[in-house]
């Protein structure tokens, strides 16, 4: 069939395969409500005999009205006892009639540990389906991507087993280790420079080194650079800054650095390695310069765009990405989480601030809780709005019902409706609910930060010193970024001021108090730098209050912000710093969950 005959309202497809994908998007979004109704009926029918649905007396009903009247809206903490039963080995149909195949570990945490999201084997097919729609959309906006390759820095993370023997690992690790990824068919529009062996190596240094080396060898073929998060791509640039000499040496000699000892990588790299003195000279010439502005387009001159998540907390990295890339377009292709993959960006070349994701109604059953941060009334299920009934301009919290058995589960993402594609709404990701600090995939809330400060301040007791006030911010000017905590201290004996090593110990004590995602970022992934405490002069936080009041804040309602990012406030705080201290050691972290 001619491609033109399958032309989509989204635009002219690049090939027949793309035409079918675009046609599928049109069909799903045109009939969003009917698709949603069918999805819910299918989920409820197949799971009708599960313990969870029987507990709520659904009685085999598959219609929306009965579902909404009987099934409550829940959080992870509500489901945690059930999830722990499954993790401990209960194989009865508790949430899903299909066997739970593994747990996907969320970047969100509960009691300091990653949340365990139960999943079933067929969910891989559903995730693969969404992935298959991304390039057909991208090809509408960026022709010629079949003429080159993508340099994507992709990594696996540690996995562990629950007491009942099920794997627990991040969703991307699960996908990269699946046959869907490892034995994927050749697609000229989606060719990576990185071999699977490099991506699947669990050692982050060896993985990054070999992926960077392959990307340098194929610098002329690279048409797009990417990582999952913006922070990940910047870590790759920092890695090049630190390792370009040894990388150039390997290229000059056609050998592989002895630090790369993974046997699978060494075997596959024999197909890549070659002596290329001219390329080595070029890399040494470019990377030895003090100015690294536009280094991405200097090293990879044919790069058309960067594919990274730059929405939500990742927006803080946009200026740095612009510096290194010369302002290349930053493309966000899809919206997903450990619980479920949600949708895709149908206008991928838009500005980061304008990114909106179209929810694909076949992925799960979606409901939306109107979000009012000033509301005093509790959230209840009767307030939930169906997918097609959300209103443009309003904000909602996402609530999902999945094939794996999550029912009316609050994801915690706050979304703003920006419009519709056919009858499917499009959402701008506003923020993760209750998150105070984030550098990479870590999410630290106010309660966790308060606990960390409380634990660290105990080290000051012997010096008769206490923390009077504190605030924080995520410093992304460094690579990797790191948490900065401003402390104002009350020192009752000036002759017994806490020593530098004590305050450094306070930094470490704070890090030890952080959740497992933060600690993994520090220890295994090197995606988060050492925590810093900046001690400020006495009276600094009073000045902060005066400044807020001068800008219209009520003196009766003023509370010290526990996180700041407004430039004048940052400048005020930094101008009052009397000393700065960093954690000198890594916090404790292992893949095993705390019992």
CB-CB contact of 517 with 443 (8 Å): yes
Nearest to 187 by CA among 136, 122, 153: 136
Q: What is the value of pTM for the model shown?
A: 0.85
pLDDT at 459: 95
Nearest to 155 by CA among 222, 223, 225, 232: 232
pLDDT in tens, 545-556: 888 878 876 666
Q: Where are the alpha helices (DSSP H) in 389-539?
A: 446-457, 500-513, 516-523
User: Hey, is 375 helix, strand or coil?
Assistant: coil
pLDDT in tens, 374-402: 665 556 667 899 999 999 999 999 999 99
CA 155 remoteness from chain centre: 13
pLDDT at 537: 94
Q: Which residues of 262-296 are buried (b: 16+ CB within 10 A; e: fewer)?
A: beebeebbeebbeebeebbebbbeebeeeeeeebb
Residue reference for tokens 């443009």: 392
Tokens of 514: 């952080």
**Dist CA 396 CA 417 (whole Å):** 8
pLDDT at 379: 63
Give the torsion sign (CA, 58, 61, 62, 63): negative
219 contact partners, CB below 8 Å, separation of at least 6? 279, 299, 300, 301
State phi, psi for 74 to the nearest 5 degrees. Answer: -135, 160
Residues linked to residue 152 through DSSP beta bridges, in sequence order: 226
Q: Is 58 exposed, middle or buried (0-12, 13-18, 19+ CB in 10 A)?
A: buried
Rounded (to 5) percent helix, strand, coil in the chain:
40, 20, 40
State phi, psi for 482 to the nearest 5 degrees. Answer: -150, 160
Give the torsion sign (CA, 439, 441, 444, 445): positive
C-alpha R_g of the chain: 25
Residue reference for tokens 């019902």: 401
Residue 407 has what DSSP assignment?
Answer: -
Give the torsion sign (CA, 178, 179, 183, 184): negative
pLDDT at 317: 87
**Sheet (strand 395-401) strand order:** 334-336, 341-344, 357-359, 424-432, 409-421, 395-401, 365-370, 385-386
pLDDT at 1: 41
Tally the C-alpha atoms within 13 A of residue 270's C-alpha that lie toward its C-beta: 5
Task: Give me the average pLDDT of each 10-residue run along the chain (595 residues).
Answer: 60 90 96 97 96 95 96 95 96 96 83 86 94 95 94 92 94 93 90 96 94 97 94 92 97 97 96 97 96 96 96 86 95 93 96 95 97 65 90 97 96 95 95 86 88 93 90 92 94 88 96 94 93 94 85 72 88 95 94 67
CB-CB contact of 389 with 55 (8 Å): no
pLDDT at 374: 62
């Amino acid at each position: 069939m001619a491609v033109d005959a399958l032309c989509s309202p989204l635009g002219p497809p690049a090939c027949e395969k793309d035409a079918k994908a675009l046609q599928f998007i049109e069909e799903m979004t045109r009939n969003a409500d009917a698709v949603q109704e069918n999805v819910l009926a299918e989920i409820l029918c197949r799971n009708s005999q599960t313990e969870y649905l029987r507990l709520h007396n659904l009685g085999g009903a598959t219609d929306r009205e009965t579902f909404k009247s009987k099934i409550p809206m829940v959080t992870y903490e509500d489901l945690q006892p059930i999830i722990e039963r499954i993790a401990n080995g209960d194989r009865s149909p508790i949430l899903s009639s299909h066997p739970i195949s593994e747990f996907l570990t969320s970047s969100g945490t509960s009691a300091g540990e990653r949340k365990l999201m139960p999943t079933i084997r067929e969910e891989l097919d559903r995730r693969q389906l969404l992935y298959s729609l991304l390039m057909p959309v991208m090809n509408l906006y960026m022709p010629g991507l079949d003429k080159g390759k993508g340099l994507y820095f992709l990594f696996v993370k540690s996995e562990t087993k629950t007491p009942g023997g099920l794997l627990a690992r991040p969703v991307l690790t699960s996908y990269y280790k699946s046959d869907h990824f490892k034995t994927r068919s050749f697609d000229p529009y989606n060719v990576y420079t990185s071999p699977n062996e490099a991506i699947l190596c669990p050692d982050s240094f060896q993985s990054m080194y070999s992926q960077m080396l392959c990307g340098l060898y194929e610098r002329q073929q690279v048409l797009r650079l990417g990582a999952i998060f913006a922070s990940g791509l910047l870590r790759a640039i920092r890695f090049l800054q630190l390792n370009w000499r040894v990388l150039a040496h390997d290229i000059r000699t056609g050998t592989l650095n002895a630090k790369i000892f993974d046997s699978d990588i060494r075997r596959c790299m024999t197909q890549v390695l070659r002596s290329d003195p001219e390329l080595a000279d070029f890399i040494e010439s470019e990377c030895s310069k003090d100015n690294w502005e536009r280094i991405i387009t200097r090293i990879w001159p044919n790069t058309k765009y960067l594919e990274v998540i730059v929405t939500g907390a990742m927006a803080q990295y946009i200026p740095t990405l612009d510096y290194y890339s010369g302002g290349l377009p930053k493309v966000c292709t899809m919206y997903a989480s450990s619980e479920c993959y949600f949708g895709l960006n149908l206008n991928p070349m838009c500005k980061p601030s304008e990114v909106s994701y179209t929810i694909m109604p076949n992925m799960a059953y979606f409901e939306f809780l109107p979000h009012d941060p000033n509301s005093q009334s509790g959230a209840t299920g009767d307030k939930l709005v169906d997918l097609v009934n959300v209103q443009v301009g309003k904000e909602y919290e996402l609530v999902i019902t999945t094939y794996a058995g999550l029912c009316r589960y609050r994801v915690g993402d706050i979304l703003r409706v920006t419009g519709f594609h056919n009858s499917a709404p499009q959402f701008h990701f506003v923020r993760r609910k209750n998150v105070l600090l984030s550098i990479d995939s870590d999410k630290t809330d106010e309660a966790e930060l308060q606990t960390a400060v409380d634990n660290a301040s105990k080290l000051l007791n012997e010096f008769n010193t206490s923390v009077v006030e504190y605030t924080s911010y995520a410093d992304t000017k460094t690579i990797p970024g790191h948490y900065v905590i401003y402390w104002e201290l009350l020192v009752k004996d000036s002759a017994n001021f806490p020593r530098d090593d004590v305050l450094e110990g306070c930094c470490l004590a704070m890090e030890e108090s952080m959740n497992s995602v933060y600690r993994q970022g520090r220890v295994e992934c090197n995606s988060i730098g050492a925590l810093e405490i900046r001690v400020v002069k006495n009276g600094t936080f009073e000045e902060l209050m005066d400044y807020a009041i001068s800008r219209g804040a009520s003196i009766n309602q003023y509370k010290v912000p526990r996180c700041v990012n407004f430039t004048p406030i940052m400048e005020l705080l930094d101008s009052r710093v009397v000393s700065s201290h960093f954690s000198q050691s890594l916090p404790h972290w292992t893949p095993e969950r705390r019992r």
